[in-house]
Chains A and B, each alone.
Chain A
Amino acid sequence: MAGENIQWRHSLEEAQNEARQQNKLLLVDLFNPG
């Protein structure tokens, strides 16, 4: 899909750990390709 330069994660838990380590916020995007 377009926007492929953004490194989307697909596991909330892993993203939360990463955000914690990097002191960042999470951006959660729920989408429906249809």
Chain B
Amino acid sequence: MGAVTYPDQQVEQLIQEHFIPVQFNVAEQPEAMEQFNTPWTPTLIVMDPDGKQHRRSQGYLDPQRFIAEMSLGRLVAPIDRQEFDRAQAIAGEVSAATQGDPTREPEALYWASVAHYKSSGDANNLLAGWNRLLDEFPESEWAKKVSFIRQG
């Protein structure tokens, strides 16, 4: 991460704009592994100031995947807090940031659809997004989660 991902300008910009970054070298602070309940590095966690974790990733991420992963963290954090208007406001930006990531792009669409529905109260917004998910990413795990909408 330190050699390739963090020097990337877009990665740096994303962190600067949206996060307070805190880093633990587990060779010097092995207790951090227990504190954050992880057996492996690198581990990346997106969390609230009060300690609630919203997203966790273990293993190396290249710049594109890092940006997609952290952007998803930005989206699911307000959803977890049921701040759906706030999530909806950044959904387009997050979708763009996940574009081309075969795992995270459909996940972003899933959650963006939830945010749209919950912020508008209109279930058609959920169905529209989930139908797009089924059409554009039919093999994704996230499409499987919504496949029931076309059954029966």
Contacts and interface: CB of A to CB of B under 8 A. Distances in A.
Q: Which 10 A-B pairs have the closest CB atoms?
A: A3-B6, A15-B22, A27-B19, A20-B49, A19-B49, A8-B23, A28-B45, A19-B20, A30-B43, A9-B22
Given A30-B41, A31-B42, A25 B54 contact: yes
Contacts of B12: 3, 5-6
A33 B47 CA distance: 23
Interface residues of B, number: 40
Among B21, B33, B44, which residue has the most Cβ atoms of chain A within 10 A? B21
B80 to A, nearest CB: 11
B150 interface: no
A11 B74 CA distance: 22
8 contacts: A2-B4, A3-B12, A6-B21, A26-B47, A27-B70, A28-B45, A29-B24, A30-B33
Given A6-B16, A19-B49, A30-B24, 7 more contacts: A7-B21, A10-B24, A24-B18, A25-B77, A29-B42, A30-B36, A31-B1
B22 A10 contact: yes
B62 interface: no
Interface in B8-50: 12, 15-16, 18-27, 32-33, 36, 38, 41-50
Interface residues of A, number: 29
A24 B19 CA distance: 5
B119 interface: no
A6 B12 CA distance: 6
